[in-house]
Amino acid sequence: MASPRKKTDPSKTREEAMSVARATQRPGQSKEQTKLIAQGIQKGIEHYKKQQKAKARELDKHLKKVKRQSEPPATEVETITEEVTRYKQHWLPWLLLGLSWAAFAAYFFASGV
C-alpha cells in the first residue's frame, strides 16, 4: 500500500524564507527589498528540497536493485553449514594445575597423614 505523498507547505517555506531574510536584513533596507530577498531564498529552499527528493528516489532505486541482485533465486536449495568454534587453550595453566596437585600430593604423603 502506497502512503499518500506529503507535499511541502508553501506557506511554511515562505515563513522560513522570510525569517532568514529578516535575520540578514541590513539597516535602511526597504520592505520591498526584503520581500525580494525572501522570494529568492524561498526559491532556493524549494530547489534544494527538490534535489534532496530526487537524490532520495535515486538511492531507493539503487538499494532495491542491489537487494534484488543479492537475493538468491528461489529454485536453488540453500545449504546450511554449522560453524564449529574451537577454543585453543594455553598449556601453561594446565601445567601449573598439575604441578600444584603434585606438590599437594607430595606434601600429603611426606607429612604422613
Taking only the tens of pLDDT, the chain with its 113 residues reads 444 555 657 778 888 888 888 888 888 888 888 888 889 989 998 999 999 999 999 999 999 988 888 876 655 556 777 888 787 888 899 999 999 999 999 999 998 76
The answer to whether 46 touches 5, Cβ cutoff 8 Å, is no
pLDDT the model gives residue 11: 79
Residue at 100 is within a domain: no
Q: What does the alpha-carbon distance between residue 38 and residue 41 come to, in Å, rounded to a whole number?
A: 5
pLDDT the model gives residue 1: 43
Phi, psi of 7 (to 5 degrees): -95, 145
pLDDT the model gives residue 61: 93
Residue at 35 is within a domain: yes
Domain range spanning residue 14? 10-71
Number of domain units in the chain: 1
Residue at 19 is within a domain: yes
Q: What does the alpha-carbon distance between residue 55 and residue 61 come to, in Å, rounded to a whole number?
A: 10
Residue at 16 is within a domain: yes
pLDDT the model gives residue 29: 86
Q: What does the alpha-carbon distance between residue 113 and residue 111 come to, in Å, rounded to a whole number?
A: 6
pLDDT the model gives residue 69: 85
